[in-house]
Amino acid sequence: MTLKALGKPLFCEALRRIISTLANKNEELQNFLGTVDRTIIGLQDESCKVTSELELEMEKLSSALEEKGVELREAIVEETQRKKLELQKQLSDGKFALLSCEELLEFANQTLSISNEEEFLKAAKEIKERVTMAPAFRLTTRPAVSESMAKYSVDFSMERSALQRLHFLLVPKAPEIDISSCIVCDNIISFTWQPSNDAACATSRPTECYDVEYQKTDVNGWQKPAGETPWEKICDITDTKVTISGLKFDTCFTVVRVRAKNKMAAGEFSEPVTIETRAYNFSFDATTAHVDLKVQGDTVTWEPQGVKSHDPRLKGKENKSSSRSATPSPNKTAAIRAGRDRFSGESYTVLGDQDMIGGCHYWEVRPLADWKSLTVGVAYRASLGRFDQLGKSSGSWCLHASQWLQSSLAAKHNNRSKALDFLIPQRIGICCDYDNAKFNQPLVPAFTVWYGGVSIATGLQVPSFMENFLSRTQSLTNLLQ
């Protein structure tokens, strides 16, 4: 073989790596261009938004100035009218007093020319009385009000200076998440943050509230996803801490970030913080399900395919007048035979699709309405045959609950059973401490359902109360020894 022939495979492999690198770079650039396009569109929308907000604020400011001008002008007019009325009354009273005084003066001058002493004394006495009562001597000769309007003078130089200093609202700086405060427990995430201590922010409009966003990811260290995965939002938080509850931990990590907002502006988000949120996630492995079990998402139900007589618990329950045959159709028989990994016979069982090879895991099971018999537990996948029932072999551990004829609850393992004196719960939590139980093979969740069904809840952390519970409670293995 020539060197040329030997080199071709190497060159082909190198070329394939180059092609892969170029394809990845091509995808990265396409995502980048898409992001730039969206940013341009967002920029235009944001520009229109802030321009509209500016016009609205200017209209409000102009309206406020106009209203204040009307108020001040009305005050000046009212004061002017009040003073005018008082001065006009004084003017009228003065004119009347002047007329009265002129008449009295003329009468006094005429009295001086009276020669008859008796008439003179009579006229003089009348003049004296009229002088005492004359308006001219009871009227003040000072104006009731002054012409000054000094108290209505204005100086808006400070306000004008403030108007000249008008500028765009300062955007709050990004808060800083306190990583040491992040707590993950019982599928709840809580954390706190510190507001920015930037001096410019301290003199601007104060922060009124915060927005928190979180996003699930399987990448340790946040990277903007190519598919623009939406952020979950919690808005208008008035405190500097938050608790996010009701979460399903179906990814390895959760990324959180926070931003501050004032009246009109929202600041940039803080640096994202990645919080580990690992939990055990699995689904029903439909390929293992007994043909009479129907798997739909996180629910499995017992739906017999018209062959009930093979279960001894149902003998005598059939309608004797029923004309249906107890023999499965050829098509169904073929389907059963085709599913070589399915459980068969009276083992109405289905397994989980994710192995456990270490650690402590937790999930929950809820019986559906009208159930009669169910079994939940764990098993070595490799140890179960198609007809094996849970709890009857050394490779399965389970809790069996029954409402058939009477209620009962029992722990089962290796064909041994121990009755439990507990009421059957509406929710069953399964905690599998693989390492401390000293399992030696991969485990899977296992379920048996007869009449009715169950649903599962996964992506759950081991509850905090389980630590104390496990320390004082025997495991199923020890319970049956």
The DSSP-derived string for 107-157 is HHHHHTT---HHHHHHHHHHHHHHHHH-GGGTS-SS-SS-S--GGG----H
CB atoms within 10 A of CB 35: 13
Residue with tokens 């699709």, as numbered in its chain: 353
Task: Please give the Cα distance from 228 to 409 (Å, whole number).
Answer: 49
> In b/e form, how buried is each residue of 108-136, taking b as 16+ CB within 10 angstroms?
beebeeeeeeeeeeebeeebeeeeeebeb
Tens-binned pLDDT, residue by residue, of the chain (481 aa): 454 555 677 778 888 889 989 999 998 899 899 989 999 999 999 899 889 988 998 999 999 999 999 999 999 999 999 999 999 998 998 888 888 888 888 888 888 888 888 888 888 888 888 887 777 777 778 888 888 988 889 898 998 898 888 887 778 889 999 999 999 999 999 999 999 876 455 445 677 899 999 999 888 765 655 455 789 999 999 999 999 999 999 999 999 999 999 876 788 999 999 999 999 999 999 999 999 999 999 999 999 876 444 455 544 444 433 333 333 433 333 333 334 578 999 999 999 999 999 999 999 999 998 899 999 999 998 888 999 999 999 999 999 999 988 899 999 999 999 999 999 999 999 999 999 888 999 999 999 999 999 999 999 999 988 877 766 555 555 555 5
- Residues 222 and 272 sit within 8 Å (Cβ to Cβ): yes
pTM over 0.85: no
Amino acid, single-letter form, for residue 320: K
Structure tokens given for 172 = 């709050």
Q: What is the rounded CA–CA span in Å between residue 141 and residue 154?
A: 32
Tell me if 431 sits within 8 A of 362, measured CB to CB.
yes
Q: What is the DSSP string of 147-210?
A: S--GGG----HHHHHHHHT--PPPPPPPPEEEEEEEEEETTEEEEEEE----HHHHHSSPP-EE
Nearest to 212 by CA among 255, 183, 246, 148: 255
Cα separation, 83 vs 60, in Å, equals 35
pLDDT digit string, tens, across residues 347-379: 999 999 999 999 999 999 999 988 999 999 999
| Two tokens, residue 356 | 């456990």
Q: What angle do CA 420, 400, 429 make, to 5 degrees?
A: 85
Structural Rg of the chain based on CA atoms: 48
Rounded Cα gap, residues 415 and 234, in angstroms: 52
